[in-house]
Structure 1
Amino acid sequence: MLTHPSIVLLLRRHHLFSQLPERVFEDVCNLAVLKRLACNSTLMHQGDPAKRFFLLVSGQIKLFRVTGEGQENLVEIIQPGQTFAEALLFSQARCYPVSASAIKDSVLVSIEGTHYRKALEDQPKVCLAILASMSIHLHQRLKDIDNLTLASASRRVINFLLQERDPRDGQVVLQVSKRLVASKLGIQPETFSRILHRLVDGGLIAMERRQIRILSEGDLEAYQQ
């Protein structure tokens, strides 16, 4: 049961819960559980029964798949305020398609899926909000697939930098390690570092630890290697 006022408010403001009648929202909170995960702790494994979905309160969670060869492929990094695994409420999948583990000490709200789905039966606005969220995720995944299958390693890195930049000053702050970014882009960490240094040498970016500044967006976009 959730009782902490700030966490209840965070949940209430999220689009998955903001349209729920107060009584229904209270029922959801009564069945929700606050979970704390230490860094590197596992929340769920790929193939586990999909009974709950989650909202991240603080920390960072990585979603990843493990190949038959044991290689870990990063799918997404979850940031505070984001939910994950809710799409499974509306699919025939009975198991989580990804694993999830903490890359920082994290606090999550764990929500019972079956009860929440029943609560939505008379809430068309919430269902539409969920469909919109799922559509956004689908388009992002399609862009990721195109990037991985059609683009060279250098182009993947450039696309990532352009996508993640702050439009005000061209800054890119890596929220996770370079190893995880490389995994997300489907390249080796050494390749990622080599491409970044090549862009630095070419005067296209400046880099200091996890902070990258795009010096010429047009030249970076046009870069071919």
Structure 2
Amino acid sequence: MYEELKYWYLRDHKLFRTLSFAQIKQLCIIVGFKKANKGEIIYFSNSEVPRIFLLKKGAIKIVSVDEEGNETIKDIIQKGDLFGELTLESDIQTNEYATALTDEVAICSFLLSDFENLMLKNPNLALSYTKFVGWKMKRLKNNYANLISKDAKTRLLTFIREWADKEGNFDVNKVTIENYLTQNDIAQIICTSRQTATVLLNELEEIGLISYNRKEIIIPDFRKL
């Protein structure tokens, strides 16, 4: 039953759709599976055994830590996304960790060395992986460009729109987003202070663009955001 669960988790992911039944079964042998609760740390970048992770359920945040110990949310990982040693270069030094944002998080993972060997045997998988990671790196680059070229309010609006597009429940033009981020999380994502993020969220609420609380964010009319 456990092996069957891993099989369907992998089979459903677009990265592995080029693999045959036998190849998926082979991947299942090297895949680990775990669950995590909200607030639990899942991954450290300086681990002695590099791994690649696949998020099957829930949401997590990737937090980058600079030399002074300051933390910044580098990315929000959602269902179907990959994280970990994505560059396949274990000697590159980064200082980041991943924490579960939602109550139930499910993750598959494989050793970097095992995944490299699998790609050597399956060129189509290697091509799919290259495209997948290329798209992810391009998105992170665009996010960085937005941070340095736009003011805090514009960054917040951009983030909320993208969040709504990815995870919002649309009812015509009204959108409801399950809110698993604190105001401090949002502040880190848009690279501003918590106080500034709070002021901006209150401002958007006062003018009727959003309704914000700890459990959900409601956008009455997505066209106006």
Match of 2:18, SS state, is coil
Q: TM-score, normalised by structure 2?
A: 0.82
- Counting aligned pairs with the same residue, the percent is 21
Q: Contact 1:74–1:183 (CA<8 Å) still a contact in 2?
A: yes
Paired residue type of 2:192: I
Q: Contact 1:10–1:81 (CA<8 Å) still a contact in 2?
A: no
CA deviation digits over 1:39-67, x for unaligned, max 9? 32222223224521111233332211112
Q: Distance in 1 between matches of 2:42 and 2:210?
A: 37
Q: State the 1:170 CA deviation.
A: 4.5
Match of 1:88, SS state, is coil
Count of residue pairs the alignment pairs up = 217
Q: State the 1:145 CA deviation.
A: 0.8
User: Would the alpha carbon gap of residues 139 and 52 (structure 1) be closer, same or farther in structure 2, given more than 3 Å must change?
Assistant: same
Comparing 21-30 and 57-66, the one that deviates more: 21-30
Partner of 1:182: 187
Q: State the 1:11 CA deviation.
A: 1.0
Structure 1 segments of 4+ aligned residues over 6 angstroms from their partners: none
Match of 1:111, SS state, is strand
Q: Contact 2:40–2:100 (CA<8 Å) still a contact in 1?
A: yes
Match of 2:23, SS state, is helix
Comparing 167-176 and 11-20, the one that deviates more: 167-176
Structure 2: segments with no counterpart, 5+ residues: none
Q: Distance in 1 between matches of 2:94 and 2:109?
A: 14
Q: Distance in 2 between matches of 1:68 and 1:96?
A: 11
Q: State the 1:214 CA deviation.
A: 4.8
Matches within 5 A, 1:13-162: 13-49=12-48, 51-85=50-84, 87-89=86-88, 91=89, 93-95=91-93, 97-103=95-101, 104-162=103-161
Q: Contact 1:48–1:96 (CA<8 Å) still a contact in 2?
A: no
Structure 1: segments with no counterpart, 5+ residues: 221-225
Partner of 1:223: none
Q: Distance in 1 between matches of 2:221 and 2:195?
A: 23
Q: Alignment RMSD, CA only?
A: 2.6
Partner of 2:197: 192
Match of 2:159, SS state, is helix
